Structure 1
Amino acid sequence: MQPKKFTGKLIAIDMYNCGVNEVNDTEKAKTLLQEGCDKYQMNSRELLVCQEEGQSEYSISALCKQGHVTLHVYPKLGFIAADIFSCYDDADPAGMARYLRSAFDCDKAKITLLDRGDFGSKYDMKPNHRSNIKFIRRTQNVTKNVGAQLKKMMLKPRGI
């Protein structure tokens, strides 16, 4: 028996050099977020603003039907890290991402897309990127060879 198919979309956006008016005014940012949720069928149920006293940084979360939109705002840097998640069929998370880039007037954005809920094999769950780090084996022969090579490089005159 196959598990029920679940598909959710997660979009992470790093927005750089955002508009000063948009990031410095918590109420304006909250209004822009609510307008986007309404326009792109995210169906916001509640908006929460978290800001520590004396701090300029703040977060705004829109709790939505089968998802959320969260903005982490750094006014001094003009930077916003946004997360959009939805598994609601009528929602348009990609449209919401385009709206946020435009509404917060950013110069540059880095966007990462992730499909959630893939119930494929456990091998499908590995990340797409791999590290290019090569490990040195701890055997006597390899250690001697590496030591000899390093010694040669260190003792070789620079002109050669």
Structure 2
Amino acid sequence: MKELEKQSYPPEELSSVPVGRHCILELYNCPTSLLNDIGFIREALQTAAKIAKSTLLKEISYQFEPYGVTALALLAESHISIHTWPETGYIAVDIFTCGQHTKPEKACEYLIKAFQASTHVLMTLPRGKFSPTIQPTIKQLEEALLVNT
């Protein structure tokens, strides 16, 4: 019960509180040289983890032939992944963090600048539970599915 008392949401509303946020970041028109530089990508991944106020547990990366890199950060709070396509100047990034102390959107802002993306798309989704504003809609869908089965 002590943990519940630390939450910023009243205990009766915890069923509608997300456990974390999942940022899906699309980066376009990035310099090819950055997207194939495994050292730069590893450094960017580590810095993003720090900016997200998360705990980096382990990092792994792989250089593809003839080009492209995948880098993953295992976080105490979940993960960050970066996948590059130098031939098209595209990067796919996922940042999933749990806990109210984390700042995945700040890490996304950093990566947009670090990879010099001329265009980007950022989507942030609640994970685990849906935000109170969409929880009633989810409940209605669940009830409709139960009625129709």
Classify the TM-score, shorter chain.
0.7 to 0.9
Shift of 1:19: 2.3
TM-superposition CA deviations, 1:40-80 (whole Å, max 9, x none): 3121111111344x341221011011211101111111110
Share of identical aligned residues, percent? Answer: 24
Q: Is the 8 A contact 1:46 1:64 kept in 2?
A: yes
Q: Is the 8 A contact 1:16 1:107 kept in 2?
A: yes
Aligned Cα RMSD in Å? 2.4
* Equivalent residue, structure 2, for 1:123: 138
* Equivalent residue, structure 2, for 1:148: none
- Does residue 16 (structure 1) correspond to residue 28 (structure 2)? The answer is yes
**One-letter amino acid of the counterpart of residue 85, structure 1:** F
Q: Give 1:104's match in structure 2, choosing from 115, 118, 122.
A: 115
**One-letter amino acid of the counterpart of residue 39, structure 2:** E
Structure 2: runs of 5+ lacking an equivalent: 1-11, 142-149
* Equivalent residue, structure 2, for 1:139: none
* Equivalent residue, structure 2, for 1:157: none
Q: Is the 8 A contact 2:51 2:103 kept in 1?
A: no
Equivalent residues in 2 for 1:1-160, closer than 5 Å: 5-52=17-64, 54-118=65-129, 120=135, 123-124=138-139
Runs of 4+ in 1 over 3 A off after TM superposition: 2-6, 119-126
* Equivalent residue, structure 1, for 2:5: none
CA distance in 2, matches of 1:21, 1:14: 18
CA distance in 1, matches of 2:140, 2:74: 27
Structure 2 vs 1, CA of residues 124 and 78 (structure 1 numbering), >3 Å: closer, same or farther? farther
Structure 2 vs 1, CA of residues 57 and 124 (structure 1 numbering), >3 Å: closer, same or farther? farther
CA distance in 1, matches of 2:54, 2:85: 24
Structure 2 vs 1, CA of residues 39 and 112 (structure 1 numbering), >3 Å: closer, same or farther? closer
Q: Which has the larger radius of gyration?
A: 1
TM-score (norm 1): 0.68
**One-letter amino acid of the counterpart of residue 62, structure 1:** A
TM-score (norm 2): 0.73
Q: Is the 8 A contact 1:20 1:75 kept in 2?
A: yes
CA distance in 1, matches of 2:97, 2:71: 17
Structure 1: runs of 5+ lacking an equivalent: 127-160
